[in-house]
Amino acid sequence: MPKKAKPTENGKEEGSVPCKQVKIEAAGKPSSTLNFESPSDLFGSLISPIKTETFFREFWEKKPLLIQRDDPAVATYYRSLFRLSDLKSLCSRGMYYGRDINVCRCVNGKKKVLNKDGKVHFLQLRKDFDQKRATIQFHQPQRFKDELWRIQEKLECYFGSLVGSNVYITPAGSQGLPPHYDDVEVFILQLEGEKHWRLYRPTVPLAREYSAEAEDRIGRPAHEFTLKPGDLLYFPRGTIHQADTPPGLAHSTHVTISTYQNNSWGDFLLDTVSGLVFDTAKEDVAFRAGIPRQLLLQVEATAVAARRLSGFLRTLADRLEGTRELLSADMKKDFVTNRLPPYHMGDGSELSTPGGQLPRLDSTVRLQFKDHMVLTVGLDQERSDETQEKMIYIYHSLKNRRETHMMGNEDTESHGLRFPLSYMDALKQIWGHLPISVKDLNLPTDEEKENLVLSLWTECLIQVV
């Protein structure tokens, strides 16, 4: 239960905007857990009974939300997502310290890392957990736990942003991490045992980086409560927090599901402005004029340079008002290249091998896996001369590897297709909600129409209906 903030002399509560608390008791019939019919259904069921519109209006990026559930069905489902007992079988699959598992403990307000070298052996891990009262942090469990993959894949579709997770297992009477804030939006699901949480006013609202905070700098908690299995806690990036497992009870297990890292308007501006400058410079000679001699040698920007840059920015703003085509340099591609593949049972052959009829001119086709692809316009990456032209790029995640999700792999391969810019209208027709006849595609020749749909079909992006 959140404690009330202490009233000040003027009668107002001291602290941040209050943490909304919702307590739900089980109804007479078993409650449903999560609804996977669509990404929006999944998110709605995750934060139920709070309405999605209410959540984004009142809580998202603004203040914490605590949902306490007294529902055995939800608690049982949450426990199935990850248990302490899962570690034995996971360690047998070849887990490594640092990459897959961290062992740590908060000692005198500092994080003490207790990792060994190399491969994790379950008996040693359990010994550190029991004897050193260390917290076990398991990185990105969706790589191995199917239900977390299923949840996070849907959430990536819903947010249009990468969604990672970490599991924290902490013994009774212990704390794993010191007070800190993160650069991600956080959804915490309590899986096993109980966890005592303290949240503090942000020093950096909507922070862009992780930072530990000294206890003597953060003041009194703005919110304090205990999570039990089936409970959910949300708080925005920048929220200072710490959590411990109460003494005398069983261990605590919770999963932190996080999103919206580097997904701000500032990031989007950095991503798109380079393409906007490139396009403008091709048409406006002022953007191609040289900068003053020795400008780069100056300690401070000159007044003349500042005025010129301000003028250029106004020109870009005017141009931006009149365009609907923004060149995304990296964000779209990075998202689709690094996200989870669609959740599937079995070997996933339907994601890599085209099925059904081969599309022909008299076929009717429909897009599939629309939530797993992006269409963007960019410069021809196969040419580097001055005749570089814009191309349409379609990137998809159907062939992404679940095993490397959110692991920072530098050699992640992107999958997709490229088309001339003249194909845009035909692709927008296919991107519509209704099936479309191939012969009705807005392209000049039947050969181009057939080649387009055959390329998309080969990548499993469309099906014949």
List pLDDT tens digits, range 352-398.
888 889 999 999 999 999 999 999 988 777 666 556 688 899 999 99
pLDDT at 18: 54
- List the single range of 29-33, 188-192, 423-427, 457-461 with lowest mean pLDDT: 29-33
Q: What stretch(es) of the chain map to CATH 2.60.120.650?
A: 39-259
Q: What is the mean pLDDT of the chain?
A: 90
Strand order in the sheet with 373-379: 373-379, 390-396, 415-420
Residue 415 has pLDDT above 80, yes or no: yes
Residue 57 has pLDDT above 80, yes or no: yes
Residue 16 has pLDDT above 60, yes or no: no
The C-alpha atoms of residue 460 and residue 368 are separated, in whole angstroms, by 8
Strand order in the sheet with 223-227: 211-212, 180-181, 240-244, 195-200, 223-227
Structure token pair of residue 194: 């109980």
For residue 141, give the DSSP letter: G
Tell me which architecture the domain covering 329-464 has in CATH.
Answer: Alpha-Beta Complex (3.90)
Structure token pair of residue 350: 């339907």
Is residue 24 very low, low, confident or very high in pLDDT (cuts 50, 70, 90)?
A: low
- List the single range of 11-20, 112-121, 296-305 with lowest mean pLDDT: 11-20
Nearest-5° Cα angle at 339, 34 to 275 = 130
For residue 330, give the DSSP letter: S
Burial class (CB in 10 A: 0-12, 13-18, 19+), 130: exposed
Question: Look-up: residue for tokens 């739900």?
Answer: 24
For residue 438, give the DSSP letter: G
Residue 319 has pLDDT above 60, yes or no: yes
pLDDT at 321: 85
The C-alpha atoms of residue 358 and residue 453 are separated, in whole angstroms, by 9
Is residue 157 very low, low, confident or very high in pLDDT (cuts 50, 70, 90)?
A: very high
How many alpha carbons fall within 13 Å on the CB side of residue 49? 12
Q: What stretch(es) of the chain map to CATH 3.90.930.40?
A: 329-464
What CATH topology corresponds to 39-259?
Jelly Rolls (2.60.120)
The C-alpha atoms of residue 68 and residue 402 are separated, in whole angstroms, by 32
Burial class (CB in 10 A: 0-12, 13-18, 19+), 64: buried
Q: Percentage of the chain surpassing pLDDT 70? A: 91
Burial class (CB in 10 A: 0-12, 13-18, 19+), 204: middle
User: Nearest CA to 317 among 383, 254, 269?
Assistant: 269
Q: What stretch(es) of the chain map to CATH 1.10.10.1500?
A: 265-322
Is residue 350 very low, low, confident or very high in pLDDT (cuts 50, 70, 90)?
A: confident
Tell me which architecture the domain covering 265-322 has in CATH.
Answer: Orthogonal Bundle (1.10)
Residue 426 has pLDDT above 70, yes or no: yes
